[in-house]
């Protein structure tokens, strides 16, 4: 996801992976001073001077995305979201952006708060979809792992699938990947997938997760999304599906497979 969108939820655990305390100590005062800060209802926005004219647009779209996600997940964070926005074609390097994003100027290490690091896109739709995707990650993790970083051992198809579902757009490439998976007759049992699954490409895991959450909401309604996340707070696969969907894991897998076969039936070539 990082390389594909250059946008991500940046946790303190991730910060430790990118920058040691020794590296952070070598921070350049010049690069640190190139940031401005503004607050809105739900965000603390950190941005470069070159993006000052676009601040209103960023805040407006970010607040709308937050309202949408928090309403659908029935969840509001107790604190504002640190949002670091930068110009990808600017003078500051990606490493310098990460260095600032992991610094105390954005948020201190305790208590834990994730932050979003976002390159400023060319269009409003791109900005909207990226913010929805990353905010879904952030709010989901706050539900499952309040006050902590990491993924909580939740499978990748859940993390990426619900974020893509919230965006609500199927690219041609993603739809083609699902049709190919259906045609292969090898749709995996979602209830048994852990980590990145058994796929040759992690992206296929993300795509099948998108289809799974489309199915969940279409069959059990909007409240099922939060119900499913609540059941993952104490992950017990043998109980999650029974509790939320009144199905055994095996029954859920079979029902999803039937949905995928209907929804992504391979297209026949014209004679």
4: pLDDT strictly greater than 50: no
Q: Which has the higher per-residue pLDDT, 203 or 196?
A: 203
Dihedral sign (CA 102, 108, 109, 115): negative
Average pLDDT in the 169-183 region? Answer: 94
Separation CA 62–CA 132 (nearest Å)? 8
Q: What's the topology of domain 2-144?
A: Glutaredoxin (3.40.30)
The answer on pLDDT for 143 being more than 70 is yes
Give the pLDDT mean for 117-121.
91
Percent above pLDDT 70 for the chain: 80
Local confidence band at 198 (pLDDT 50, 70, 90 cut-offs): low
The overall average pLDDT reported for the chain is 83
Sheet of 8-10, strands arranged across: 8-10, 115-119, 81-86, 43-47, 36-39
pLDDT of residue 238: 58
Provide, for the chain, the percentages of residues in helix, strand and coil under a 3-state DSSP scheme, each rounded to the nearest 5.
55, 10, 35
DSSP state, 191?
G
pLDDT tens-digit map of 59-111: 999 999 999 999 999 999 999 999 999 998 878 888 999 999 989 999 887 77
Of the pLDDT bands very low, low, confident and very high (cuts 50, 70, 90), residue 10 is low
DSSP track, 237-264: HHHHHHHHHSS-HHHHHHHHHHHHHHHT
156 pLDDT tier (thresholds 50, 70, 90): confident
What is the pLDDT, as a whole number, of residue 34? 84
> Angle, nearest 10°, between helix axes 156-167 and 202-220?
60
- Summarised one tens digit per residue, pLDDT across range 205-219 is 899 999 999 999 999
Please tell me the distance from the alpha carbon of residue 63 to that of residue 246, in angstroms, as a whole number: 35
Please report which confidence band the pLDDT of residue 151 belongs to, taking 50, 70 and 90 as the band edges. Answer: low
Give residue-wise pLDDT tens across range 221-270.
999 999 999 888 865 655 778 888 899 889 999 999 999 999 998 766 44
Considering only residues 178 and 201, tell me which one the structure prediction assigns the higher pLDDT.
178
For the stretch 42-60, pLDDT in tens is 999 999 999 999 999 999 9
Identify whether the C-beta of residue 5 lies closer than 8 Å to the C-beta of residue 133.
yes
* Pairwise CA distance, residues 180 & 257, whole Å: 14
- The predicted pLDDT at position 266 comes to 75
Q: Please tell me the predicted confidence (pLDDT) of residue 19.
A: 40
Distance CA 15, CA 176 (A): 35
Report pLDDT for 18.
38
Is residue 25 pLDDT above 50, yes or no? no
Give residue limits of the domains in the chain: 2-144, 156-263
Mean pLDDT, residues 149-167 taken together = 85
| Residue found by looking up tokens 């303190």 in the block | 12
Euclidean distance between CA atoms 100 and 214, whole angstroms:
37
Rounded alpha-carbon distances, angstroms, from residue 153 to 144, 149, 240, 269: 10, 11, 14, 42
Q: What is the pLDDT of residue 15?
A: 39
């Amino acid at each position: 996801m990082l390389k594909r969108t250059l946008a991500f939820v940046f946790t303190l655990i991730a910060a430790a992976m990118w920058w040691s305390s020794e590296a952070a100590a070598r921070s350049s005062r010049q690069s640190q001073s190139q940031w401005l800060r503004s607050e809105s209802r739900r965000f603390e926005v950190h941005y470069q001077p070159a993006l000052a004219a676009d601040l209103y647009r960023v805040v407006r779209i970010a607040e709308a995305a937050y309202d949408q996600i928090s309403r659908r997940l029935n969840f509001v964070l107790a604190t504002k979201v640190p949002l670091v926005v930068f110009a990808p074609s600017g003078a500051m390097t990606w490493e310098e952006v990460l260095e600032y994003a992991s610094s105390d100027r954005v948020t201190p290490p305790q208590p834990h708060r994730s932050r979003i690091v976002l390159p400023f896109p060319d269009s409003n739709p791109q900005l909207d979809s990226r913010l929805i995707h990353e905010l879904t990650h952030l709010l989901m993790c706050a539900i499952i792992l309040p006050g902590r970083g990491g993924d909580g051992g939740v499978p990748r198809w859940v993390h990426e699938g619900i974020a893509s579902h919230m965006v609500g757009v199927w690219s041609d490439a993603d739809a083609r990947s699902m049709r190919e998976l259906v045609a292969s007759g090898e749709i995996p049992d979602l209830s048994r997938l852990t980590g990145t699954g058994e796929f040759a490409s992690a992206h296929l895991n993300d795509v099948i997760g998108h289809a799974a959450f489309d199915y969940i909401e279409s069959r059990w309604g909007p409240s099922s999304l939060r119900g499913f996340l609540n059941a993952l707070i104490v992950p017990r696969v043998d109980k999650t599906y029974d509790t939320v969907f009144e199905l055994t894991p095996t029954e859920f897998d079979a029902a999803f497979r039937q949905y995928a076969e209907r929804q992504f039936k391979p297209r026949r070539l014209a004679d």
